[in-house]
Amino acid sequence: MSTNKNAQIRYKALDECFSNIYLKYFIEDLIAYCNEKLTDHFMEETSISRRQVLEDIKFMESQAGFEAPIVRYREGKRVYYRYEDADFSILKKSMTDTERNTLRQALETLNRLNSLPGFGWVQSIQTKLDIEITELQRQNKIIDFQENEYLKGLEFLNPLYQFILKEQVLSVHYKSFRDRLSVFTMSPYFLKQFNNRWFLFGWEHHFHKVQNIALDRIVSIDVISEVYHINEIDFVNYFDEIIGVTNVENDEVEEIKIELTDYILPYIASKPLHSSQRVKGHVLHLSVKINQELKALILSHGENMRVISPLSLVEELQRIIQRMKNNYDFKK
């Protein structure tokens, strides 16, 4: 268990307690809450001492820490803790000039690798840092990045990453959108984000195939004593065949032709939908498997896209559009 990661989780847990104006957190409550958060994160029973929590509070109040305005309120012989300023949070605290300069230097070093595959994220981080520094001088925010702080399932992201590294077999309790509970026995292989959702890919031991499940539908995860099924999949090539995350093994890659309107043509040309994309005149050519994500993408562009071929995709979209039309055919 990483000591630094442990401390970060404790500070964040304490921050949540001190920010809560409705509950009184005495020292034993703080210990219990920290233990709960640590156990949830590391997926194993974790406990810390009273002394550790008191040291954490002292650090959070210090200049070296977060200069947190923590107040002690006495109730009989006991003391509960709360921020003096209810709006304060260590998560809102801006970086110091030294921290920004250090981070900028690190990013400039990484930016030299920006042209290499897998390092495109560096430029995005550097842009965010530059914007934060600039907007500290402004009263009004002028840019917002798409981030969903309420996204479910993120608490499983780091544990799953560790399980993949350690090649541990998992029992995953999963609830579908229809509220049907399933249990998968999986050898986890890969994590991927798509449309602001995270997905786990792995070998399902009962179905004997690669399965993907959304992290926001996971209820719980347990490590079990089964033999790990070694990954033989190159996930770089795996996603070359599809748009999205659904790759049915026996489905064939098909040549998709889509007619584009003048309105959407520049958008598609400047932001390719897939690595196989070719645009000839007003016709978009894709070499991918037909899956739910492809159909949803086409439908999302409404009248600006018309599938020319294959016929099977044309007919499937016709059925979907007809059902959509029926939803709006109100009886008078």
**Spatial CA neighbour of 72 closest among 11, 24, 23:** 24
Length of the chain: 332
Question: For residues 6 and 279, what is the distance between their CA atoms, to the nearest angstrom?
Answer: 50
**Burial class of residue 241, CB neighbours in 10 A (0-12, 13-18, 19+):** middle
What is the separation of C-alpha 120 from the centre of its chain, rounded to a whole number of angstroms?
17
- Domain 154-233, what architecture? Roll (2.30)
Q: Is the peptide bond before 310 cis (omega within 30 degrees of 0)?
A: yes
Q: Are strands 169-175 and 70-75 parallel, antiparallel or unpaired?
A: unpaired
CA distance 218 to 150: 15
Q: What is the Cα–Cα distance from 21 to 17, expressed in whole angstroms?
A: 9
Question: What is the distance of C-alpha 121 from the center of its chain?
Answer: 14
In the prediction, which pLDDT does 314 show? 95
Instruction: Tell me which residue of 183, 279, 197, 200 sits closest to 235, measured CA to CA.
Output: 200
Class of the 3-83 domain? Answer: mainly alpha
Indicate whether this model's pTM tops 0.75.
no
231-236-238 Cα angle (round to 5): 70
For each of the chain's 332 residues, which pLDDT tens digit applies?
445 678 889 999 999 999 998 899 999 999 999 998 888 877 778 889 999 999 999 999 998 888 899 999 999 999 999 999 888 998 876 666 676 677 677 766 666 655 555 555 666 666 666 666 555 555 555 545 455 555 677 788 888 888 998 899 999 998 877 778 889 999 999 988 888 788 999 999 999 999 999 988 888 899 999 999 999 888 878 888 899 998 888 899 999 999 999 999 988 888 888 989 999 999 999 999 999 999 999 999 899 999 999 999 999 999 999 998 888 876 65
**What are the domain boundaries of the chain?**
3-83, 97-135, 154-233, 254-327
Strand, coil or helix: 4: helix
